[in-house]
Structure 1
């Protein structure tokens, strides 16, 4: 590998953009491949437009990179496998394939002794009725593939919703399959963001508490307050089991429900993750730099925290940056995207040495931006400390 290796990234969204920015200090070069010409990572690195299933486009891409990774999990596994025969690809296509299929993912969790909500595969209307008998209601009907940020889901509150759920998602059953998952009345949502190197070295960042709105991450707080050492260690153990079984290389996130002190796995994201964005300013080594270190075979950096951090997602359009930037620990990230309803266009991170200082900064930012509802959950979590 050259002194300044070129990292290829399949997918040109904000995750690729932040990977590129974090790799500059390592002297890395990058090439992005995306299906659209206005992918925001193309603002910071050379962009090749092409279909992920086009072997000619993949061959052009492979010829110019030393190692490849991806910034979203819906890259066709077949394309990743074709590429892996020509250039090292991390995480490996097998790990990608498992994470793309909710049924395969839940089955793997069970094999590894990782608790999950009850689930059942669905391919027909009759199977949906049987799944409701098995799983019970309320529950959630989901596509097995291609769903993220609340997409491809229908909440079934009673048996009367079954027909509407099938009408909404049933046509997709033939192409990607469906799965019914029991609804979990969780106390809170947590995630463990982990990294595994080529040599098997494994590290995690502190457990993160997350809040969603309409299925999209709104706010993340780290370290997650009021988490005892045993619960945190359980989350780390689950992530370690997954990484080992999949021979995983790079960063991934394991999303978890916490219910009465028990952790239930929701899903795995085989990439750098939204709930780990706070690591850019809030950890000794960010998830983005450690992902690059891992895929290049470099030593992993420390995942220790720098105090306390809270990440606020900006959805649809960017607010005024001044309210965040005037804070001593305020950091602003604009992804360079055009505003659009439901679109992740940026985030902010507030970092402080103490929970009290972080709570004060959140209150000030929430008031200045009119985002009190968004900052209320982490404030309620911080105040008891």
Structure 2
């Protein structure tokens, strides 16, 4: 069986590694030049894009921001999963908000702004504490601005003045005092079968995910029901096939959708060691019409992103139940270089392992590590 992935980064690589035991060959497309590459070693393959599309049994994506001509070309094959509509909703915050509103899925109060002058109206409507997001091409904290008081408004307007907001509008959201961010990763097969991973807790620093704890502590059945209801509404509306991630802000007993990601997701990486079937294998199973694998949690887990630095020394693997996944990249600021998965019998074991890892993990690149370790140690 042959699968073609649009995008040739670490997510395509991990899908290829997960597909190999199933006899699924994964090829990837570098969307910047349309070259077909081996997703594991990144070497260009002697095959044209058109031939790769024809040879593929299924085609999917590793991220949402696919150039539209390429997406349209692939879509004509009839093999693309999830659908163009789902990918577009993940790539465009205006479409995402419209989808959530259509399905009556609770999300952050917002306003669409296509002129910097309208930011004053947004302040009047939503308050003076705002998160301002570019509707396209924003991720990991890029394409976002924060307004903490109306006195900052002129500076924000000046910073945005050169943007073509008619072409790429802003989504301006009310800045909420939420308790934490949680996310739900699930898979849906073509026959409608759905498999959920547990809700996980995400900790961000400067707009990027640094730590993910699975399952999230202190999750109630009511929160699970809300998350799964939102997921089911989305996949039913989109006739979705594959893995979908939905990020939520928790405010008391209520979950508000922050954003959706129509693909395998960073907050699901823990499943490589912590679940019976990882998200990468389940995505391939879904699009290749294989039965979905069990998402049963094998052990509480924590995932640490390695960002902007070389991979840590291999001596860190002396800490029991610690696993390193490198992405074969050259370091640069804010670039995800790999991740570390840790499993334990309980949260306290995870916290203790994280404390031991501080010997090899620089605080400048892992600024949340110590605080998260101490917090996990306190969870009974």
Tell me the TM-score normalized by structure 2. 0.93
Q: Which of residues 210, 229, 238 is equivalent to 1:237? A: 229
Equivalent position SS for 2:167: helix
The residue that corresponds to 1:15 in the other structure is 11
- Whether the 8 Å contact between 1:154 and 1:168 is mirrored in structure 2 is no
- How many pairs are equivalent? 375
Equivalent position SS for 2:192: coil
Note the C-alpha offset of 1:273. 0.3
Deviations 1:133-191 (A, max 9, x none): 11112001111111111110110111222232233334141331111111111111100
CA distance in 2, matches of 1:103, 1:64: 35
Work out whether 1:380 is the aligned partner of 2:375: yes
Note the C-alpha offset of 1:378. 5.2
CA distance in 2, matches of 1:33, 1:113: 36
Note the C-alpha offset of 1:323. 4.8
The residue that corresponds to 2:157 in the other structure is 166
Note the C-alpha offset of 1:26. 0.7
- Whether the 8 Å contact between 1:221 and 1:378 is mirrored in structure 2 is no
The residue that corresponds to 1:317 in the other structure is 309
Equivalent position SS for 1:104: helix
- Whether the 8 Å contact between 2:37 and 2:45 is mirrored in structure 1 is no
The residue that corresponds to 1:261 in the other structure is 253
The residue that corresponds to 2:117 in the other structure is 126
The residue that corresponds to 2:176 in the other structure is 184
CA distance in 2, matches of 1:82, 1:167: 39
Work out whether 1:286 is the aligned partner of 2:281: no
Distance change (3 Å), C-alpha of 1:36 and 1:117: closer
CA distance in 2, matches of 1:324, 1:235: 36
Equivalent position SS for 2:352: helix
CA distance in 1, matches of 2:38, 2:101: 37
Runs (5+) with no aligned partner, structure 2: none
- Whether the 8 Å contact between 2:37 and 2:43 is mirrored in structure 1 is no
Q: Which of residues 316, 329, 335 is equivalent to 2:321? A: 329
- Whether the 8 Å contact between 1:278 and 1:309 is mirrored in structure 2 is yes
The residue that corresponds to 2:210 in the other structure is 218
Choose 269-278 or 104-113, whichever is displaced more: 104-113
Deviations 1:177-230 (A, max 9, x none): 111111111111100011101111111101100001110100000000011121
- Whether the 8 Å contact between 1:20 and 1:45 is mirrored in structure 2 is no
> What does 1:87-106 align with in structure 2 at a 5 Å threshold?
87-106=78-97
Q: Which of residues 23, 30, 36 is equivalent to 1:34? A: 30
Note the C-alpha offset of 1:260. 1.9
Choose 270-279 or 371-380, whichever is displaced more: 371-380
Equivalent position SS for 1:363: helix
- Whether the 8 Å contact between 2:134 and 2:171 is mirrored in structure 1 is yes
CA distance in 2, matches of 1:360, 1:39: 43
CA distance in 2, matches of 1:321, 1:87: 45
Runs (5+) with no aligned partner, structure 1: 51-56
The residue that corresponds to 1:53 in the other structure is none
CA distance in 1, matches of 2:36, 2:140: 19
Distance change (3 Å), C-alpha of 1:195 and 1:211: same
CA distance in 2, matches of 1:280, 1:360: 21
